[in-house]
Amino acid sequence: MKRSFGKEYVAPWEKVFDRALTLLEEFIHRQTTGGVLLMLCAIAALTIANSPWNGAYHHLLEMPFTIGMQGFQLSKSLHHWINDGLMALFFSSSGWNSNVRFWWGNWPTQNRRCFR
Written in H, E and C, the secondary structure of the chain is: CCCCCCCCCCCHHHHHHHHHHHHHHHHHHCCCHHHHHHHHHHHHHHHHHCCCCHHHHHHHHCCEEEEEECCEEEEEEHHHHHHHHHHHHHHHHHHHHHHHHHHHCCCCCHHHCCCC
- Average pLDDT for 54-58: 90
Domain boundaries, the chain: 1-61, 64-116
- Higher-scoring residue by pLDDT: 92, 6: 92
Q: Which pLDDT score is estimated for 46?
A: 92
Does residue 29 contact residue 46 with C-beta atoms inside 8 Å?
no
Please say if the pLDDT value at position 100 is more than 80: no
What percentage of the chain carries pLDDT values higher than 70?
83
Q: Which pLDDT score is estimated for 112?
A: 55
| Model confidence pLDDT, tens digit, residues 60-93 | 989 998 988 888 898 899 999 888 888 888 888 8
Question: pTM of whole model > 0.75?
Answer: no
Q: How far is residue 79's CA from residue 60's CA, in Å, rounded to a whole number?
A: 9
Does residue 107 contact residue 113 with C-beta atoms inside 8 Å?
yes
Paired sense of beta strands 72-77 and 64-69, if any: antiparallel
